[in-house]
């Protein structure tokens, strides 16, 4: 009888050990590749998403001014210098277009900028990019969610992460932008804004209260779409260089050339 009891105990112990070993092996198989992939990703000084408004309120000319403004900004010596002094690992940049809660698209995929040559190459890519989204409501929360997702799935690990939301109107559908913003900033992402006040003279205040967030977040303001390029250039210098910004986001209004 004791022999049978010992045999039963050994059988139970063997099965428990086998089960534990199987769980251990499975955990290694599942976790190790994920860690390896993360470790293989190149580190950069900054991950930057430029989110361009393509909703109904943005005309073809206004959209073109946004895209040309981004391209021109990356050709400016001040921006190229800011990239050079920000660190030796470069800046990974992507451009998305957005409108309502279901309309977002990567317009320019991630591009690593480390010097003048790569900055000019990125500017050329932006210049060649068409408009993918035509009309729709305004979902700033959707734009933030989509931009955050692009950072999660890209091939880079950034020492800093910034989402740059450009627009001329308030969110009118989708999740409240302040709720989405808080989820993204909890991940260490900074959300800045570039507002165009051609239609809403108080849009900068709206962005300050409901859109921007994170350490040093700020709103840059252009009076018209014609001012967008200069405003983008000044904002990029601050973002890339990590220039400290006061807790209350300052507003930078540019004098329009139009009367």
pLDDT per residue over 71-86, tens digit each? 999 999 999 999 999 9
Q: Is the pLDDT of residue 245 over 50?
A: no
My answer on whether 104 and 14 are in the same domain is no
Q: Is 63 part of a structural domain of the chain?
A: yes
Residues 52 and 31 in one domain: no
Q: Is the pLDDT of residue 23 over 90?
A: no
Same domain, 22 and 78: no
Instruction: Print the domain residue range for 12.
Output: 1-40
> Is residue 238 located within the same domain as residue 221?
yes
Q: Give the pairing of strands 91-98 and 104-113.
A: antiparallel
Are residues 179 and 61 both part of a single domain?
yes
| Cβ partners under 8 Å of residue 52, min gap 6 | 63, 66, 67, 70, 95, 96, 97, 98, 107, 166
Asked, for residue 259, whether it belongs to a domain, the answer is no
Under the banding of pLDDT at 50, 70 and 90, the label for residue 253 is very low
Claim to verify: residue 151 and residue 218 sit in the same structural domain: yes
In a domain, 77, yes or no: yes
Q: Are 105 and 89 in contact (CB under 8 A)?
A: no
Residues 26 and 68 in one domain: no
pTM for the predicted model, two decimal places: 0.80
Q: Are residues 195 and 141 in the same domain?
A: yes
- Whether 258 maps to a domain, the answer reads no
Q: What is the DSSP string of 143-158?
A: HHHHHHHHHHHSS-EE
**What was the pLDDT predicted at 170?**
96
Same domain? 118 vs 146: yes
Q: Same domain for 206 and 114?
A: yes
Question: Nearest Cα to 134, choosing from 36, 18, 19, 56?
Answer: 56
- What's the domain count of the chain? 2
Give which of 171, 165, 162 is closest to 196, Cα–Cα.
165
Residues 31 and 80 in one domain: no
User: Looking at the structure, do residues 139 and 121 belong to the same domain, yes or no?
Assistant: yes
């Amino acid at each position: 009888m004791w022999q049978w009891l010992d045999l039963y105990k050994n059988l139970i112990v063997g099965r428990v050990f086998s089960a534990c070993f199987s769980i251990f092996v499975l955990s290694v198989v599942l976790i190790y590749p994920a860690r390896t992939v993360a470790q293989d990703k190149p580190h950069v000084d900054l991950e930057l998403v430029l989110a361009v408004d393509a909703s109904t309120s943005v005309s073809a000319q206004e959209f073109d001014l946004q895209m040309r403004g981004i391209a021109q900004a990356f050709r400016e010596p001040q921006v190229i210098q800011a990239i050079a002094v920000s660190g030796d690992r470069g800046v990974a940049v992507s451009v998305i277009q957005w409108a309502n809660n279901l309309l977002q698209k990567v317009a320019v995929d991630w591009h690593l900028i480390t010097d003048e040559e790569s900055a000019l190459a990125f500017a050329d890519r932006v210049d060649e990019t068409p408009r993918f989204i035509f009309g729709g409501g305004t979902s700033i929360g959707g734009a933030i969610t989509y931009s955050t997702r692009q950072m999660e799935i890209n091939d880079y690990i950034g020492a800093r992460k910034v989402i740059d939301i450009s627009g001329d109107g308030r969110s009118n559908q989708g999740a409240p932008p302040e709720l989405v913003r808080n989820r993204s900033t909890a991940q260490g992402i900074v959300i800045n804004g570039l507002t165009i006040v051609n239609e809403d003279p108080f849009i900068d205040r709206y962005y300050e209260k409901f859109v921007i967030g994170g350490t040093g977040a700020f709103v840059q303001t252009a009076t018209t779409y014609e001012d967008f390029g200069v405003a983008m250039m000044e904002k990029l210098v601050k973002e890339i260089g990590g220039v400290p910004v006061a807790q209350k986001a300052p507003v930078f209004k540019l004098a329009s050339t139009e009367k």
